[in-house]
């Protein structure tokens, strides 16, 4: 009897282990693998990258960025080695957010000082509707201001716009930083949002998307410069953004929050941070901190471009951690199989066999069915 029970328990344990292995494979951990530096000039900030394969012969990526108060561009064939193009896309502006419109033109949103020391969001539109260099190089500033300061959470400025098209022709949403100044050196940035039916007239959404201070899970001083993405496959929204926090449990760096409706976001989760903090501060925050993320996903990869304060522009690629590290689970499975085989060789049927075999078959069959369903899900 004891041998039979031991055999049954061993079989059920093995099947459970295989089930957990299937679950672990389904939930593979993805991590950002740093690829190194792209630009060495720390004055290049706030990059946006468009993927335009098959249109141009000499490049597949065009990057927009600001450098010393001007918006410029660069091109690359493979997304890592960029060549800066001549001239300026805009003579004034910071933090470009570029979207392609339905008519083939491109629009750049950017923030700029309105002359009072406070910032507003303006826009410019490409002069050509064709998929040519001119459509992505020559822009005309549009009349008026897209978004201005003056709300509860942005009385002193609106900065770092990130604009996405909403699904089902639902217009646009802009994520931006609302500024509250205490002094010229002390201020608060938190992430807010606004919506628009046409990309020109904007209405601020209520409340806060990513909060700071006592209302933030990180206890952050600043949460800023979000890059927004809508993911059609899952119907979810992603915000990658910089965090500056005095909390010793968290490191300054790039975090991610997700949402089902684009308004209510999850608690931030660290994505890319330095191994340790420098503790030295200068213009732009803590030296060595990771900031200003932009995430580009193509058919083959997902890459993050970001700025390291005091150093320049870098990139990282999303990879599967389990693909690079041996999976110790299978060693455990081999050991369990070996032990089970030893039990099978010693196995003797009990006198009341019929009282035990049916429950054992049911348990084993149920575990096998669960494994089959999980593996079917993985194959999808």
C-alpha to C-alpha distances, 289 to 219, 303, 305, nearest whole angstrom? 17, 19, 14
Residue 380 is predicted with a pLDDT of 45
Domain membership of residue 315 (yes or no) is no
Asked whether residue 129 falls in the same domain as residue 275, the answer is yes
Residue-by-residue DSSP string for 168-204: TT--EEEEEEEEEESSSS-EEEEEEEEEESSSSS-EE
Pair 81, 111 in one domain: yes
| Same domain, residue pair 182 and 290 | yes
Q: What is the pLDDT of residue 249?
A: 79
What is the end-to-end Cα distance of the chain in Å, rounded? Answer: 43
pLDDT score of 328: 58
pLDDT at 331: 65
Q: 219-275: per-residue pLDDT in tens?
A: 888 999 999 999 999 999 999 999 998 887 789 999 999 999 999 999 999 999 999
Q: What is the span of the domain harbouring residue 149? A: 41-310
> Which phi and psi (to 5°) does residue 22 adopt?
-60, -45
> Does 162 lie in the same domain as 15?
no
How many whole angstroms separate alpha carbon 367 and alpha carbon 11? 10
Q: Is residue 374 part of a domain?
A: yes
| Predicted local distance difference test score (pLDDT) of residue 56 | 84
Q: Are 39 and 312 in contact, with CB atoms under 8 Å apart?
A: yes
Report the relative pairing of strands 302-308 and 222-231 from DSSP bridges: unpaired
Take residue 85 and report the two structure tokens written for it: 């193009």
- Three-class SS state of 357: helix
- Domain annotation covers residue 346: yes
Q: Domain containing 241 — which CATH number?
A: 2.115.10.20
Q: What does the pLDDT read at residue 324?
A: 45
Contact 237, 231 (CB under 8 A): yes
**Domain assignment of residue 212, yes or no:** yes
Express each pLDDT in 104-143 by its tens digit. 899 999 999 999 999 999 999 999 888 788 889 999 999 9
Report the alpha-carbon distance of residue 364 to residue 377 in Å, rounded.
20
Task: Return the structure tokens found at 108.
Answer: 């750049």
Please indicate, yes or no, whether residues 329 and 240 belong to a single structural domain of this protein.
no
User: According to the model, what pLDDT value does residue 132 have?
Assistant: 82
Q: What is the per-residue burial (b if ≥16 Cβ within 10 Å, else e) of 260-283?
A: eebeebeebeebbbeeeeeeeeee
In this prediction, residue 279 carries a pLDDT of 84
Same domain, 159 and 289: yes
* Cα 242 from Cα 225, distance rounded (Å): 6
Is 112 contained in some domain?
yes
CB 360 within 8 A of CB 368: no
The verdict on 287 and 352 lying in the same domain is no
| Helix-strand-coil split of the chain, %, nearest 5 | 20, 40, 40
Cβ-based neighbours of 15, under 8 Å, separated by 6 or more: 364, 367, 368, 371
Q: Judging by DSSP bridges, how do beta strands 312-320 and 302-308 pair with one another?
A: antiparallel
Residue 352 is predicted with a pLDDT of 57
**Alpha helices per DSSP H over 27-154:** 133-137
Give yes or no: residues 84 and 7 share one domain: no
Q: Does residue 226 lie in a domain region? A: yes
Distance of CA 362 to the CA centre of its chain: 44
Distances (CA, A) of 39 to 106, 129, 155, 331: 25, 30, 34, 44
Q: Are 26 and 375 in contact (CB under 8 A)?
A: no
Q: Does any domain span residue 182?
A: yes
Domain boundary among 281, 310, 339: 310
Q: Does residue 52 sit in the same domain as residue 178?
A: yes
Query: Are 38 and 45 within 8 A, CB to CB?
Result: no
Asked whether residue 306 falls in the same domain as residue 331, the answer is: no
User: Domain end: 310, 336, 371, which one?
Assistant: 310
Is residue 209 in some structural domain?
A: yes
pLDDT in tens, the chain (380 residues): 545 445 454 544 544 444 444 444 344 589 999 999 999 999 999 999 999 988 888 899 999 999 999 999 999 999 999 999 999 999 999 999 999 999 989 999 999 999 999 999 999 999 988 878 888 999 999 999 999 999 999 999 999 999 999 999 999 999 999 999 987 678 899 999 999 999 999 999 999 999 987 667 778 889 999 999 999 999 999 999 999 988 877 899 999 999 999 999 999 999 999 999 888 887 778 889 999 999 999 999 999 999 999 999 999 999 997 644 445 556 666 666 676 666 655 655 555 545 555 555 555 555 555 555 555 544 44
Residues 374, 264 share a domain:
no
Q: Which of 284, 310, 336 is the last residue of a domain?
A: 310
Count of the separate structural domains present in the chain:
2
**186 and 289 co-located in one domain:** yes
């Amino acid at each position: 009897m004891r041998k039979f029970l031991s055999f049954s328990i061993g079989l059920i344990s093995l099947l459970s282990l295989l089930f957990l292995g299937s679950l672990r494979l389904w939930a593979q951990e993805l991590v950002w693998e740093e690829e190194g530096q792209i630009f060495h000039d720390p004055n290049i900030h706030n990059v946006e990258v468009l993927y335009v394969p098959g249109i141009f012969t000499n490049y597949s990526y065009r990057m927009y960025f600001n450098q010393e108060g001007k918006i410029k561009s660069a091109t690359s064939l493979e997304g890592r080695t960029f060549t800066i193009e001549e001239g300026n896309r805009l003579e004034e502006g910071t933090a470009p957010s570029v979207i392609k419109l339905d008519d083939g033109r491109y629009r750049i949103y950017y923030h700029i000082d309105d002359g009072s020391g406070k910032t507003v969001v303006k826009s410019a539109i490409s002069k050509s509707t064709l998929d040519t260099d001119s459509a992505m190089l020559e822009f005309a500033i549009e009349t008026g201001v897209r978004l201005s300061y003056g709300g509860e959470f942005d009385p002193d400025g609106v900065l770092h716009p990130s604009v996405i098209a909403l699904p089902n022709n639902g217009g646009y949403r802009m994520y931006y930083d609302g500024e509250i100044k205490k002094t010229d050196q002390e201020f608060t940035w938190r992430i807010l949002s606004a919506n628009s039916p046409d990309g020109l007239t904007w209405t601020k959404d209520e409340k806060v998307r990513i909060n700071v201070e006592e209302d933030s899970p990180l206890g952050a001083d600043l949460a800023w410069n979000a890059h927004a993405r809508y993911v059609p496959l899952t119907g979810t929204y992603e915000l990658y953004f910089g965090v500056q926090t005095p909390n010793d449990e968290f490191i300054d760096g790039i975090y991610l929050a997700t949402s089902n409706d684009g308004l209510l976001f999850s608690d931030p989760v660290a994505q890319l941070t330095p191994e340790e903090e420098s503790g030295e501060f200068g213009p732009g925050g803590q030296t060595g901190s990771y900031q200003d993320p932009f995430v580009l996903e193509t058919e083959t990869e997902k890459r993050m471009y970001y700025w390291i304060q005091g150093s320049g522009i870098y990139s990282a690629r999303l990879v599967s951690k389990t693909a690079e590290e041996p999976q110790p689970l299978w060693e455990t499975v081999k050991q369990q199989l070996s032990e089970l085989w030893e039990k099978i060789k010693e196995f003797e049927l009990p006198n009341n066999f019929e009282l035990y075999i049916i429950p054992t078959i049911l348990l084993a069959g149920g575990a096998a069915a669960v494994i089959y369903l999980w593996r079917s899900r993985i194959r999808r």
